[in-house]
Amino acid sequence: MGQQQEDFVRSFCDAWGDGTDSSRPDVEKILSMMAEDAEWQLWVPGGPVVKGKAALREEITRQMGFATNNKCNEVNIVSNDRMVMQERSDTAIILGRSCPHQMVAIYEFNDKGLISHWREYLDMADLTRKMGVDESFAADGGASSTI
């Protein structure tokens, strides 16, 4: 059963883009893989929690306004039938700058096999430096950005 969940997460990550200039997140596919009441914690510790499909759509669309060339690159993965932990070495262009970043993502699944909770553990101070913006951007998830 864990292999099925790992393949599901790989497909979910692929929906965010292939790293090329022309690829964009497939918002409909991403949302179809998440429970109605899904929660996404943008970074741990301390990052904002986005709850429900309407808010998830809004957050993904917001991020598409300043991030392009997304590519999730799996390093390691481990799972059981209810949870997948994935170490990644992702790439993106954020605010026009190359922003490779390391993270661990944890996905929890509901009884229907959809993502119910998704947490990303990453060093936002490192990512903020690569973006070339001040730390207030990371402190509020970019919400105060005019981008």
> 2-134, what's its fold?
Nuclear Transport Factor 2; Chain: A, (3.10.450)
pLDDT of residue 144: 40
Q: Around Cβ 87, how many Cβ atoms within 10 Å? A: 15
Quick: pLDDT tens for 10-31. 999 999 999 999 999 999 999 9
Which token pair is 119?
């947490």
| 131 burial type by CB count under 10 A (0-12 exposed, 13-18 middle, 19+ buried) | buried
Structural domain spans, the chain: 2-134
CA-to-CA dists, residue 111 to 34, 38, 58, 106, 118, angstroms: 12, 13, 25, 17, 15
- The whole-model pTM stands at 0.85
